[in-house]
């Protein structure tokens, strides 16, 4: 990459995913230009997978894929990052117009054996309708055999722990946590770069494959009544995969120290970094060697999520 080419944060073109449980609120809340007459459940905002690529939408790198940046310009954009074959995170917006299946993602210990990819994730509730809830873990201790029998009897929803949520809540989901999303939730999802899901129960939907045997290998049956994230100041979660902070932006701040990169997501109000303006639901990648690294509040009660990857 020629010196000085990076003058702006990088923005990417969203990839919209039709889902049976999706809706239209990503257009209503965030002005996303959704395909017409389709239930859109996911907007893949930052992704580097063989089947899906984020493409830069601004500046001199416009048209380059995230994978090209990761493999060709890693030092300039991502700094001293882990030597992984692909960018390690996948970041989405989710619109659960209807309930998602009750499901699990595999931990490292069994993912490869099952032919999948490990997946730990984090949810930030960007919008919640009255009565919205998340399904996470179990109400009480459950045995593997007891769980399997309950699934076969069609009663597994009676076992799941339900957590009422409002806008601004957050939940951490380590791999192995049995979970689902209730109707009326719009979430920011930050996760390992994985697309492996083992569905156990799909409510009244009959046409999607279930994966009980795989799920039984993955579920943490000791995961009883997990709670929402309890912020420590600005810190929401620090894991070996990602660190996520929530900033209320009253004055300009450096997005991240030089030599490191960050991803920022505007939550409320409006923010600006260099010549890029972000409205709610907009994401930008602040490169490791960008000169102007300040994020500025521009309008309203400005707030953002800042995502970094620990060294």
- Averaged over successive runs of 10 residues, the pLDDT of the chain (311 residues) comes to 80 98 98 96 98 97 97 94 93 98 96 97 98 98 96 96 98 98 98 97 91 98 98 98 97 96 98 97 97 94 97 80
Distance CA 281, CA 273 (A): 15
275-278, long-range: CB < 8 A, 24+ apart: 275/7, 275/8, 276/8, 276/9, 276/11, 276/58, 278/304
For residue 209, the model assigns a pLDDT of 94
For residue 4, the model assigns a pLDDT of 67
Domains of the chain (ranges, CATH numbers): 15-218 (2.60.120.10), 235-308 (2.60.120.10)
pTM: 0.97
Contact (CB, 8 A) for 33 and 51 = no
Distance CA 52, CA 195 (A): 11
- What are the distances in angstroms from CA 44 to CA 55, 195, 300, 307? 11, 12, 26, 16
Which is catalytic among the residues 199, 217, 272, 306? 199
For residue 51, the model assigns a pLDDT of 97
Distance CA 244, CA 173 (A): 13
Report H helices in the chain: 25-30, 66-72, 74-78, 108-111, 144-152, 212-218
Distance CA 102, CA 120 (A): 16
* Catalytic annotation present for 258: no
For residue 82, the model assigns a pLDDT of 85
The number of residues in the chain equals 311
């Amino acid at each position: 990459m020629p010196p000085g080419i990076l003058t702006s944060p990088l923005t990417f073109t969203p990839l919209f995913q039709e889902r049976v449980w999706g809706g239209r609120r990503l257009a209503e809340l965030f002005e996303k230009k959704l395909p017409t007459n389709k239930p859109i459940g996911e907007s893949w905002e930052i992704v580097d997978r063989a089947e899906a690529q984020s493409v830069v939408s601004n500046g001199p790198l416009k048209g380059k894929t995230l994978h090209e940046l990761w493999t060709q310009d890693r030092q300039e954009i991502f700094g001293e990052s882990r030597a992984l074959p692909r960018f390690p995170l996948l970041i989405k917006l989710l619109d659960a117009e209807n309930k998602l299946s009750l499901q699990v993602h595999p931990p490292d210990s069994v993912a490869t054996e099952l032919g999948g990819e490990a997946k730990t994730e984090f949810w930030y509730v960007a919008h919640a309708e009255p009565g919205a809830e998340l399904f996470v873990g179990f109400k009480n201790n459950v045995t593997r055999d007891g769980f399997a029998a309950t699934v076969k009897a069609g009663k597994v929803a009676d076992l799941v722990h339900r957590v009422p949520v409002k806008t601004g809540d957050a939940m951490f989901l380590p791999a192995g946590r049995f979970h689902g999303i209730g109707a009326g939730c719009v979430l920011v999802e930050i996760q390992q770069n994985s697309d492996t899901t083992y569905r156990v129960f799909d409510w009244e939907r009959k046409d999607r494959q279930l994966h009980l045997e795989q799920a039984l290998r993955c579920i943490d049956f000791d995961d009883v009544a997990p709670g929402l994230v309890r912020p420590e100041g600005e810190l929401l979660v620090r894991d070996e995969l990602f660190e996520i902070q929530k900033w209320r932006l009253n004055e300009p701040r450096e997005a991240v120290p030089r030599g490191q990169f960050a991803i920022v997501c505007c939550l409320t109000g409006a923010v600006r970094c260099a010549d890029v303006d972000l409205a709610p639901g907009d994401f930008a990648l602040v490169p490791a060697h960008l000169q102007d690294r300040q994020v500025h509040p521009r309008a309203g009660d400005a707030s953002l999520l800042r995502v970094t990857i620990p060294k």
